[in-house]
Structure 1
Amino acid sequence: MGRIPTPGISVAVRLPSGELWTGVAGQASIVPARPITSDTVFGVASITKTFVTALIMRLADEGVLTLDDPLSLYLPSFPRAERLTLRHLLSHTSGIYDYFTNPHYVTEVFADPSRTWTLEEILGFVGDPYCEPGTCYHYSNTNFVLLGRVAVEAGGSPLHVQIRQRFLDPLGLGHTNFQPDEPTPLDHANGHLISGGRYVDHTGTSRVVPHRSAVTVAWAAGAMASSPTDLARWASALYGGQVVSAEALAQMIDFQPPDGYGLGTRSTTFSGRLAAGHLGGIRGFESAMWHFLAEDVTIVVCTNRGRYSTGRTVRLLTRTLLGPAVLP
């Protein structure tokens, strides 16, 4: 095997027949050396949003809430809550400032890797809105921490409990967990960044990947850990209509300009073929989960190197599996 531009990489492909192919290379940890396996879990960051979206849509299917509910029903103290709807949050058309972009965010979050953040502290990073609700698209992680609170209030139990009871256990996703509320498996990858021409481990001995501060500040916007195998099963079930109603799924994949975002779901094309899913990046990890809607094929790529381009790997797999590009 030639040199790979990441400490480790894990890939899963699910075919229409349900057959699952996996491939791994490299190390979960460099020092001490620990190899990647097909069950190794990674911090999957914003792929968490697909689970939170499915939970909100399931609650809507059950009549517990509606997507046009104002945020004020669940979090009345949030600015402009009476004018913000759950649909605005799911579609990133709320205009709410993305707390990840606060200039003090990186310094404070990574100053103490063991810190546990509260929702109130997270919302303290939120600045002035970008626009009035419904008048612009602007991807904002703040939308999903707010949706996490909505799910807790409407569903009546902690977020990680609802996600496990409704999705993880029924679908047999045994290598997926909501950090740090649930224990991360021992077979986890450590997150790495390149500094000074070498890989720097940002997880160390932590059982939370990359570490507690990063995942608690991300919470409903990006706290989960999973394996590509589990994510391939998840995407296939979610976008194959097995998780939410047909009406709910249609809304999720009703992709809108300018960015091709639906409700909690991104869209992209590889070789001219439309795929639904999400990307995820958290300190030392990059992940991609894509389900090709017409072909019913799912491709998942997870790496334990930050700022790694998963798109190159997905494009190669797409051409190999599905053939030459489809011309418009």
Structure 2
Amino acid sequence: MSTSRSVRVTAPTERRNPRTLRIDQVTPLEALRLLNAEDATVPGAVAAVLPLLARVVEVTAERLRAGGRLHYFGAGTSGRTAVMDAAELIPTFSLPPGVVVAHHAGGPQALVQPVEGTEDDDALGAADAAGVTAADVAVGIAASGRTPYVAGALTAARAAGAFTVLVSSNPEAPLAHLADVHLGVDTGPEAIAGSTRLKAATAQKLVLNGLSTAVMVALGRTYSNLMVDVAASNEKLRGRLVTILMAATDLEEGPCAAALAASDGELKTALVCLLADCPPEEGRQRLAASGGRVGVAVAGQPA
């Protein structure tokens, strides 16, 4: 029997991967090696879009600095990845809730259980984007680059005047025309055809983590590579504040703990006080004048 009939392929992620055709015939260890080999190609694919991602970072930082917001829109795995990225910014960088907002097709229920049909609902995407304004950045995430929910959201966001971005694993994504920047990460066919929870999802996580982290750095929510805006919401993190001060200043625990206490537990204030040898009130004033950037505050320069 001939197996040469034509197959309609609509996205690179849905093609059969010639390197994993026998994945169901090998040992578990060999299957893992096949999966790992595919995973190893993702960072290089992401590296190819870094110049475009840098532009997104610049625009996003500028808009957040001016009071705008960053919105993510995705369905299924894409939406879950976006929700995770947005949620983790709150404790890691003390980012106020609502600055980075993840919209997941189907809402909270769809995080743990698929809600049929939501990804095909462009009207739902448009409705979820109703709060997007011209001050904002809207990022649609769709491995195939064609998800109707994302299409509806980007269309509405674009109409509102927002800066729009599409993150896909399809360099020829049908929705690319809706985005000011298309980050088409060429991850190729999945190890299991069409299973975009694999390489495509890994690429999405790398892109969103890179975007949000670089934006936080640009907004002064780190000092060097230290999380100086971390929210001390538990005992472990409260202990970490002193550890961060010690790493940033090369001082012993005692002076760092004393400075933190004198600064009412405000890590950045304590750090400026230690580095610039100033009292807490002056440290706060320096931080306010510098837009919260510790390095600028220590140098005594305005933002």
Taking structure 1 as the reference length, the TM-score comes to 0.27
Structure showing greater Rg: 2
Highest RCO, 1 vs 2 (Cα 8 Å, sep ≥ 6)? 1
Higher share of residues assigned strand? 1
